[in-house]
Copies of this chain bind each other. A is one copy, B any other.
């Protein structure tokens, strides 16, 4: 992803204004709807030892864990995703975990930053949902104003020595024609989970009650609609939860890192 010094994409300009407001604690809420058109990223921060293994886990599981960027140890800038990004301050709310327990939800990481921390920016379905909405497709949890429903499945991930766990999926109910179109559209976005991993009968992937998601909120499935399931960025978090590492940091749900990258740039073609 190249930055052009003479021309700034309007999406990037707006993303920078949003980050500045977040950095200065003017905005401290969820980021949905901020900087439309800009890629928003999930954040996972781990000490180097486990980070090396988490990188391998992501390489082996690109659908739930599509990596947009990975820093070196201690680095808190990510110039490829935005020249002025500071990962210690540019997320509205963080979650700090010790041995798997949530210990704090600060607005900055200045007090807990360490030189061995590696940050992973992971693609988020906001990007492909924007493309679905642009097509006129009803993205149900958005039209119902709730969080996307997410489920633990019996689809295994490809584990590493310490990291393993089931894939988590998000679900969007769609009419058949919209499902077909959504498969085409999301296939173009491999770095934000890509094509669905399942559609139709939820029990075939180990979901026993579609109306009781494991994360997020239930949504209405109308007559004639098919539940369509995408690999979900909650998967790595669920895996980390199981490992309960000594120290880790994530974004708080819905409080994402806004990058300068236009969603359209993620399209593979």
Complex CA–CA separation, A184 to B269 (angstroms): 13
Q: A177: CB under 8 A from chain B?
A: yes
Enumerate chain B residues within 8 angstroms of A184, measured Cβ to Cβ: 183-184, 187, 195
Among A64-72, A197-205, A245-253, the stretch in contact with B:
A197-205
Q: A224: CB under 8 A from chain B?
A: yes
Q: Residue-by-residue, is A177-221 near B (CB-CB < 8 Å gives 1, otherwise 0)?
A: 101100110010000000111111100100000000000000000
Q: A56: CB under 8 A from chain B?
A: no
Asked if A226 contacts B198 (CB within 8 A), the reply is no
Complex CA–CA separation, A211 to B187 (angstroms): 32
Q: Which of A45-100 contact B (CB under 8 A)?
A: none
Q: A146: CB under 8 A from chain B?
A: no
Q: A176: CB under 8 A from chain B?
A: yes
Complex CA–CA separation, A269 to B195 (angstroms): 17
Among A184, A195, A199, the most chain B Cβ lie within 10 Å of the Cβ of A199
Complex CA–CA separation, A36 to B199 (angstroms): 32
Asked if B187 contacts A199 (CB within 8 A), the reply is no
Asked if A199 contacts B224 (CB within 8 A), the reply is no
Enumerate chain B residues within 8 angstroms of A199, measured Cβ to Cβ: 176, 179-180, 199, 226
Complex CA–CA separation, A33 to B216 (angstroms): 50
- The verdict on A197 contacting B183 (CB below 8 Å), with A204-B224, A269-B269 known, is no
Complex CA–CA separation, A226 to B197 (angstroms): 14
Cβ of A232 to closest chain B Cβ, rounded Å: 16
Asked if B196 contacts A180 (CB within 8 A), the reply is yes
Enumerate chain B residues within 8 angstroms of A196, measured Cβ to Cβ: 180
Asked if A176 contacts B200 (CB within 8 A), the reply is yes
Complex CA–CA separation, A199 to B198 (angstroms): 13
Complex CA–CA separation, A224 to B199 (angstroms): 11
Q: List the interface of chain A (C-beta within 8 A of B).
A: 176-177, 179-180, 183-184, 187, 195-201, 204, 224, 226, 269
Q: 8 shortest A-B CB distances, which residue pairs?
A: A183-B183, A176-B198, A176-B199, A200-B226, A176-B200, A184-B187, A204-B224, A180-B195
24 contacting pairs across A/B (C-beta < 8 A): A176-B198, A176-B199, A176-B200, A176-B201, A176-B204, A177-B197, A177-B198, A179-B199, A180-B195, A180-B196, A180-B197, A180-B198, A180-B199, A183-B183, A184-B184, A184-B187, A184-B195, A187-B187, A199-B199, A199-B226, A200-B200, A201-B224, A204-B224, A269-B269
